[in-house]
Every structure is written in structure tokens, then in C-alpha cells.
Structure 1
Amino acid sequence: MTQVQWQIHQGSIEQVLSVEQQIPEFSQPKTQADILQRLSGRTYLALIASCEGQPVAYKLGYEQAPQLFYSWIGAVMPAYRGRGLARALLLEQERWCREQGFRHIEVKTMNRFKTMLQMLVSHDYHIAELTQPAASSQTLLDMQIRFRKAL
């Protein structure tokens, strides 16, 4: 069995969107307008993991406040999960943030994303806030968790 090689590099919003639209868990994928509006006037980092030249994963974040980086969105296409891509993107984002002078990284996820929760805790991210689901029809799986890591 041949091991597929992947590379991580800074990429474009178009590359982010090419992956975003292929993630089945995202009921409402972000649009280019959504992303550009959020990033407007901010320092940001778009990391792309590519296999054989094709984007298969991304991590996108931006400066939320002086010395605070917010890791906003990220995903790995289903066929490429379990290969360490999310971890590699996380570590590269942390490296870049330290290099840029950020002191903290924050990220939000939902209780339903068990693999993400495990990865964050195993890389020294700590729970900073829990937000209850808005609607009574939602479950504990919909609880939002904000994590923070000191760099």
C-alpha cells in the first residue's frame, strides 16, 4: 500500500471553500461572502493541506484582539480523515501564531465533535466557556465549548 503524501501551506479562500463544500457535517457551508466579511480588515491565516496538489483539509483563523488568535473554522474531507491532517494543521497554526507574537489561541466547537474535543484537550487547550443550546429541541450534543490555549 502506497502512503499518500500531503503538504501544508498557506492558501487561498477559494481553496478553503473547495474543501468546505465537501464536508457532510456542515449543514450550511460557509460562502465566500461569509468568509470575506468575517476576515475584513483582520490579520488572518488560511492553512491548506493538499494531497497530490488537491486541497483536502483546511484551518482558517484570524486576529480577534491584540495577542489573541481565533481559530475559526477547519475541516478534513472524509476520505482523508485519520491521517493526522487536523493535528498537523493545528500545530502549524500554533507555530505561525507564536511567530506572529500571539499569546493565546481560542477555538469553539460543539460537544458532538468528539474527535475535535479529544484533539484539543490532548494539545493543552482548556475549556474557557460552555454555551447551552439555544432551542429546547436541541440536545447536549449541540452545546458549544470555547477552548483557549496559552502559547
Structure 2
Amino acid sequence: MRRGDAAFDIRPATVKQLLDAHALVPEFTLGGEAYFRDRLAGRTSLSLIAWDGDRIAGYAVAYLEGDVVYIWLAGTDPDYRGRGVYSEIFEEIRRWPAAQASAKIRLKTTNSFPAMLRWLVKNGFMFAAIEQGGTPMENRIIAELPLHRS
């Protein structure tokens, strides 16, 4: 799926590859094969990995919820942060909904990921709601990006 000047090769991922990618993100403690399979069971989904040669740089998993594409999980290997990995993966996800007649892309993040919050604002997402957590750092921020249909 590499395009022109893209730095990474973005390809569909197997569950095994997702587990390998997920293990590279130190902030994520939940996981395991059942975790992924249970969440994706019966859903139309898209799982992508950004490759730098034979090394995993990052990943994302999205699925359809009605007319919304929900980005369930995404992460970048710390060695690749700040190099546009998620932006390249996101562009592939953004192209995917057009064929699925989706109205918007939605994801959740927390205040504990300020780099993601900045990325969301920079890329036109709107903060639609907050789910209260135990502390302000644990509040879940629901962000949405409307998709314009042609």
C-alpha cells in the first residue's frame, strides 16, 4: 500500500502480527490473542501495520459501528515516534471508509496521551464527548472526524 513518498509500507495485518506490534507499545498492558479476536469477532474490520523494511513501526485496528469507522487501537514503537507512522496508517484508514459509506471516524484517547491529542486537533478531529475516569488523566476523550461524501 506504499504511496509515492511514503516512508513506511502499510499492509493488512494478521492477528499474530498485531500481537507482535501491540507488544512494542509499552503503554499498553492489555492484550493477547483472545483480546483481539473477541473485539473483532463478527465485525467488518481493517487491521494495518506500518513496516520499515522487516521491522514493525506501528499499527492500527479499525472496525465499522453502523455508519462510523471506530479506530479501536493504534500504537507506534517508541523508536519510530515523531516520524509520521500513525499519519501514514491513518491515511489508509481514511481511504477505507469511502467504500463503506461511513459518515465519520471516531476514536477514544485519554489525557495521558498528549501527543495524540495534539495530532487529533492538527488533523481536524473534534472532541465530541468525555467519559469520566477515576482521575482527569484517565478521562476518555471521544474524538470524531466527519467524512465528506462526494
* Alignment counterpart, residue 20 of structure 2, candidates 18, 21, 26: 18
Q: Trace 1:38-77 onto structure 2 (pairs within 5 A).
A: 38-65=39-66, 67-77=67-77
Structure 1: segments with no counterpart, 5+ residues: none
Q: Trace 1:84-123 onto structure 2 (pairs within 5 A).
A: 84-123=84-123
TM-score (norm 1): 0.88
Q: Distance in 2 between matches of 1:117 and 1:146?
A: 11
Q: CA deviation at 1:40?
A: 0.6
Runs of 4 or more, structure 1, over 6 Å off, are none
Name whichever of 10-19 and 75-84 sits farther off. 10-19
Q: CA deviation at 1:112?
A: 1.1
Give me the identity figure in percent. 31
TM-score (norm 2): 0.89
Assess if the C-alpha contact under 8 Å between 1:21 and 1:29 holds in 2: no
Letter in 2 for 1:102: S
SS of residue paired to 1:100: coil
Residue in structure 1 matched with residue 145 of structure 2 by the alignment: 149
Assess if the C-alpha contact under 8 Å between 2:9 and 2:51 holds in 1: yes
Q: Distance in 1 between matches of 2:58 and 2:81?
A: 9
SS of residue paired to 1:57: strand
Q: Distance in 1 between matches of 2:103 and 2:86?
A: 21
Aligned residues: CA RMSD: 1.2
Letter in 2 for 1:129: A
How many equivalent pairs are there? 141
SS of residue paired to 1:127: strand
Assess if the C-alpha contact under 8 Å between 2:107 and 2:144 holds in 1: yes
Letter in 2 for 1:68: V
